[in-house]
Amino acid sequence: MDAELSNRPVLQVQGLRVEFPTRRGVLTAVDDVSFEIMPGEVLGLVGESGAGKSLTGTAIFGLLEPPGRVASGTIVLGGDRIDNLPHDRMRRIRGKKIGAVFQDPLTSLNPLYTIGRQLIETITTHMDMTLAEARQHSIELLAEVGIPAPERRIDQYPHQFSGGMRQRVVIALALCTNPRLVVADEPTTALDVSIQAQIIRVLKRLCRDHKTAVLLITHDMGVIAETCDRVAVMYAGRIAEIGPVREVIKNAKHPYTHGLMGSIPNIGHDIDELTQIHGSMPRLTEIPPGCAFNPRCPHAFDRCFVERPDLAQEDKSQVACWLFDKETADA
C-alpha cells in the first residue's frame, strides 16, 4: 500500500440516516451518524441493544432489509461512494472490498459445502487465480488464522469444526480477497471467554498485517478495550461519544458512557456495588425531544429536554452533551 493510500481513510460515513417507513409514520433507527476508519485501524461501535449499531454495519454492507432504507448521508469506501450503488454492483463489492464476520459462523458458512469449496469459490469469483492457486491460497489462509493441519481440514465440512474454529474459518473467508474493510458484528458473543481472546488476537494480527480497516460492533466493553484503537458509543441511533479507546474508558465524558464504564467490574478496586443506568433504551416510536438520554441522565437540565446536542471536541474525544457546551459552562 503506497503512502498516499495509507494516509486516507478506508471508510468515511457522513450524516448516515436509516429509516423504516410504517403505517404510523417514518421511524428513524440511525440518525446523523458520522465517522471514519483508517487503514489497519479497528473502530469499535458499542451500545445497548437497539442503539442502532448493527443497522449501521448492515447499511455499510448494503444489506438493509426493506422497508429499511438509507434516507440520507454518504458512505465512501476507498474514495468511492457505495451507498447509492445498484444491487448488482454492490454485490461485487461485498466479498471483494468488504468482508464480514458475523456472530454465528453458521450463517456465513454453507453446511452442504466443504470449507475449501467455499473459500476457493470466493477467491476465484473476485480474484484472477486458477483453482490450484486458489486452493493453495486457502490453505495458507487457514494456517494463518490458526487452523491445525489445514491441508487436511480444507476438505472438511463446517459441522466438523468447533464454534471457535468455525469463526476462524469465517475470518479467513472475510480476508481471503484482501478487502479494504471488514465489518465484524458481535464476532465473539457465541464463544466462551478463552476462545474469545484467541479470536480477538487473530483478528487484530491479521488486520494489522494486511492493513485492513475493521468496524467492530459489540455490546462488550471488554472486547472493545482489548481490540480497538478508537471507540464510538451509540445511543438511540446517534453517536454519544467517540475517541481513542483508552481515553474513553479512563476518562469518559458523556453520562451514558460514564455509566457503561461504571458497570464494568474492576479487580483492583473493592466496591460494594456497580454503577447502574436506570431505565432502558427508548423505542423508536418514543424517542424524547432534546437529548435522547435525558430521561435516564442524572445531570439533565432544562436545555437537555428541548435541544439535541451535536458532537463537539472535548480533549481527545468528541462528545454530544450540553454539559461540555461553552454557553452552558458560562451560564
Is 90 exceeded by the pLDDT of residue 262?
Answer: no
* pTM of the predicted protein model: 0.91
Residue 167 lies in a domain: no
Residue 172 lies in a domain: no
DSSP 8-state assignment for residue 327: H
DSSP 8-state assignment for residue 280: -
- Return d(Cα 126, Cα 136) in angstroms, integer: 16
Verify cis geometry, omega within 30 degrees of 0, for the bond prior to 67. yes
For cell 458532537, what's the residue?
311
Residue 217 lies in a domain: yes
Q: 105-158 pLDDT, tens per residue?
A: 877 899 999 999 999 999 999 999 999 999 999 999 999 888 999 999 999 999
Residue 143 lies in a domain: no
Residue 130 lies in a domain: no
CB 18 within 8 A of CB 64: yes
As a whole number, the mean pLDDT across the chain is 89
- List the strands of the sheet with 25-37, edge to edge: 25-37, 11-22, 69-77, 80-81
Query: What's the average model confidence in pLDDT over 158-163?
Result: 93
Residue 93 sits in a domain whose CATH number is 3.40.50.300
pLDDT for 327 equals 67
DSSP 8-state assignment for residue 180: S
Residue 138 lies in a domain: no
Q: Which residues contact 41 (CB under 8 A, 6 or more apart)?
A: 213, 214, 229, 230
Q: 214-244 pLDDT, tens per residue?
A: 999 998 888 888 889 999 999 999 999 999 9
In angstroms, how far is CA 205 from the centroid of its own chain?
A: 17
Report which secondary-structure segment, H or E, holds 175: helix 163-175
Q: Total structural domains in the chain?
A: 1
Name the pLDDT band for 55 (thresholds 50, 70, 90).
very high
Structural domain for 50, as ranges:
3-97+179-265+276-330
Residue 87 lies in a domain: yes
CB 207 within 8 A of CB 40: yes
Q: CA 78, 82, 87, 88 torsion: positive or negative? A: negative
